[in-house]
């Protein structure tokens, strides 16, 4: 049997099943590069404070460089017998350089080592994800720019409400994603602190220099309590929470894309490369990618609940439970990264059908509120205006015409206040242009928001 680093006090080996059950190397080996990075910084610090000789440090650096090569070119042999990424790499180092490799673990524990590794890994993941969020925002801003005055029925209760522009609708998602990026950036502040030096739970007897290690690893500072440092996974939960909210936003957009692509709406088409056909129904083109995004949101929400539940009953400090933090965290990083990447490309590939959107605006009497506002501006109390317009809508519905298609004489029967100037109020374009204030859907405002976002995303 392979002699584990701690095996001296045991008199029987674990069963094969227990070995497999307790090992994490099959999934935590994705932290190999950051594990090496952390070990090199730790060794450099130990040398600086006089705990590790220059020769030992040089040997560790040489050995780790070789190991990094082996990992990168796929020749490193991961062993479940050695439990996790940390012990696999340490054993390989010792095989290569002997005693110097055995001195690497001085003044640290896997408990502070793994906490450091996850933070290093997550810091990189967050930076990549924020970049992907920005890229998706850019694709939405481009769409908003191209459709700053394209009329779309705005819905409430999924019933046609008032005209908006397609650009305005796209920018609503740009706002959501902007908050998501802010949340990741904020969570990063709490990720980017060094727990190393906390050792198993209480700190260490060696004269370590944690601030120096933090500097070497690009951390903004060091954590302040050793017990908290080895047991804290708040940062993973915060990240996953921000990811769940981002997925929720993309799930809402997906739901809209699916509806809009349904022939009953026919507002958009999604490029073929994001859709699939049916094995039985030859006519079908299904929006698989948005549907899967909607589905995968459940998976990320599940990871969030999994992590919260993982932590809720753990006494201080480190418990093996924590090993279960990695799969939900990694899966969240993978799912969100792939989703963002695919989404930016998909949004660039959608075809907008302005005629269908315009027809839906007309069928839905989307300018009824504009007519009521018109009457109010002529002196009628709003509730009376609301009633007069409701009657006009009923009449137009019977005639199968939009309000804008009624003659002025017909409209006048609902209120003597209606004059010839009502015509422009009843068109979708007039309705849009009138909502001319910050946050409004007027094309001029949409263009201003496009410019604002272009500057922010530059
Ligand atoms: N593989 C472990 C984890 O993922 C590393 C820390 C193990 N420490 C321990 N004392 N068992 O959390």
Q: Which CATH number fits domain 111-143+155-358: 3.40.920.10, 3.40.50.300, 1.10.287.980, 1.20.200.10?
A: 1.20.200.10
Q: Which of 15, 157, 279, 437 is catalytic?
A: 157
pLDDT in tens, 330-339: 999 999 999 9
The pLDDT value given to residue 3: 58
Query: Which of 322, 326, 330, when mutated, tests ligand 1's pocket best, judged by the most ligand atoms within 8 Å of its CB?
Result: 322
Q: According to the model, what pLDDT value does residue 5 have?
A: 62
Q: Which atom of ligand 1 is nearest to the CA of 83?
A: 1
Tell me the pairing of strands 268-270 and 221-222: unpaired
Per-residue pLDDT, 6:
64
pTM of the predicted structure, to 2 decimals: 0.95
> Pairing mode, if any, of strands 221-222 and 193-194?
parallel
> How far apart are the CA of 111 and the centre of ligand 1, in A?
6
Residue identifier of the C-alpha nearest atom 11 of ligand 1? 320
List, as one string, the DSSP characters of 56-77.
HHHHHHHHHHHHHHHHHTT---
Atom of ligand 1 at shortest distance to CA of 85?
Answer: 1
Please, which residues have CB within 8 angstroms of residue 386's CB and are 6 or more apart in sequence?
A: 372
Question: Measured in angstroms, how far is the CA atom of residue 57 from the centroid of ligand 1?
Answer: 25
357-392: b (≥16 Cβ within 10 Å) or e? bbbbbbebbbbbbbbbbbbbeeebeeeebbebbeeb
Residues 36, 37, 38, 39, CA torsion sign: positive
Q: Where are the domains positioned within the chain?
A: 16-106, 111-143+155-358, 363-457
| Atom 2 in ligand 1: residue holding the nearest Cα | 323
ipTM of the complex: 0.96
Residue in 60, 45, 48 with CA at minimum distance from that of residue 100: 60
Told to judge if 157 belongs to the known catalytic residues of this protein, a careful annotator would answer: yes
What dihedral do alpha carbons 216, 217, 222, 226 form, nearest 10°? -110
Residue 110 Cα to ligand 1 midpoint, Å, equals 6
Active site residue 278: yes
Question: Which residues surround ligand 1 with Cβ inside 6 Å?
Answer: 24, 28, 84, 110-111, 114, 320, 322-323
CATH architecture for the domain at 16-106? Orthogonal Bundle (1.10)
Identify the active-site residue in 7, 53, 262, 278: 278
Angle at which helices 110-146 and 234-261 pack, to 10 degrees? 30
**Which residue out of 9, 83, 201, 323 has the highest number of ligand 1 atoms within 8 Å of its CB and is therefore the one to mutate?**
323
CATH 1.10.40.30 for domain 363-457, yes or no, is: yes
Q: Which residues in the chain show pLDDT less than 50?
A: 1
How far, in Å, is the centroid of ligand 1 from the Cα of 114? 7
Same fold, 16-106 and 111-143+155-358: no
Which letter, b or e, does each residue of 86-121 get, where b requires 16 or more Cβ atoms within 10 Å of its Cβ? Answer: bbbbbbbbbebbeebbebbbebbbbbbbbbbbbbbb
DSSP classification of residue 415: -
Whole-number Å distance, alpha carbon 72 to ligand 1 midpoint, is 24
């Amino acid at each position: 049997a392979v002699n584990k680093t701690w095996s001296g006090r045991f008199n029987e080996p674990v069963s094969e099943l227990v070995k497999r059950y307790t090992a994490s190397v099959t999934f935590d080996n994705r932290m190999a590069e950051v594990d090496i990075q952390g070990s090199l910084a730790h060794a450099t610090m130990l040398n600086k404070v006089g705990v590790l000789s220059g020769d030992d440090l040089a040997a560790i650096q040489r050995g780790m460089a070789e190991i990094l090569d082996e990992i990168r070119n796929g020749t490193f042999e991961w062993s479940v017998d050695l439990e996790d990424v940390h012990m696999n790499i340490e054993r390989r180092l010792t095989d290569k350089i002997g005693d110097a490799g055995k001195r690497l673990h001085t003044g640290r524990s896997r408990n502070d080592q793994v906490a450091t590794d996850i933070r290093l890994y997550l810091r990189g993941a967050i930076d990549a994800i924020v970049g992907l969020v920005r890229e998706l925002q850019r694709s939405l801003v481009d769409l908003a720019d191209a459709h700053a005055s394209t009329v779309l029925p705005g819905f409430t209760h999924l019933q046609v409400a008032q005209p908006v522009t397609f650009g305005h609708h796209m920018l609503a998602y740009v706002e959501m994603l902007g908050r998501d990026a802010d949340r990741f950036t904020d969570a990063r502040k709490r990720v980017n602190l060094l727990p190393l030096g906390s050792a198993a739970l209480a700190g260490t007897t060696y004269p370590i220099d944690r601030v120096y290690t933090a500097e070497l690893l690009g951390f903004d500072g060091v954590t302040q309590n050793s017990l908290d440092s080895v047991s804290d996974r708040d940062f993973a939960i915060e990240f996953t929470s921000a990811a769940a909210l981002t997925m929720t936003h993309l799930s809402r957009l997906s739901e809209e894309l699916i509806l809009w692509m349904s022939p009953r709406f026919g507002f958009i088409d999604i490029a073929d490369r994001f859709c699939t056909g049916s094995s039985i129904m030859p006519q079908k083109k299904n929006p698989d990618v948005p549907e899967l995004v909607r589905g995968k949101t459940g998976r990320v929400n599940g990871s969030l609940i999994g992590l919260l539940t993982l932590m809720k009953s753990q006494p201080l400090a480190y418990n093996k439970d924590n090993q279960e933090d990695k799969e939900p965290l990694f899966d969240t990083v993978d799912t969100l990264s792939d989703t963002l990447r695919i989404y930016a490309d998909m949004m660039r590939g959608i075809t907008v059908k302005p005629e269908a959107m315009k027809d839906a605006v007309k069928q839905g009497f989307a300018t009824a509120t504009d007519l009521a506002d018109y009457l109010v501006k002529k002196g009628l109390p709003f509730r009376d205006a609301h009633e007069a317009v409701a009657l006009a809508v009923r009449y137009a519905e019977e005639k199968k015409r939009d309000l804008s298609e009624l003659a002025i004489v017909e409209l006048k029967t609902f209120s003597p206040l209606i004059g010839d100037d009502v015509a422009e109020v009843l068109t979708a374009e007039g309705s849009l242009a009138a909502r001319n204030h910050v946050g409004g859907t007027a094309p001029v405002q949409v263009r201003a928001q496009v410019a604002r976002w272009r500057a922010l995303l530059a």
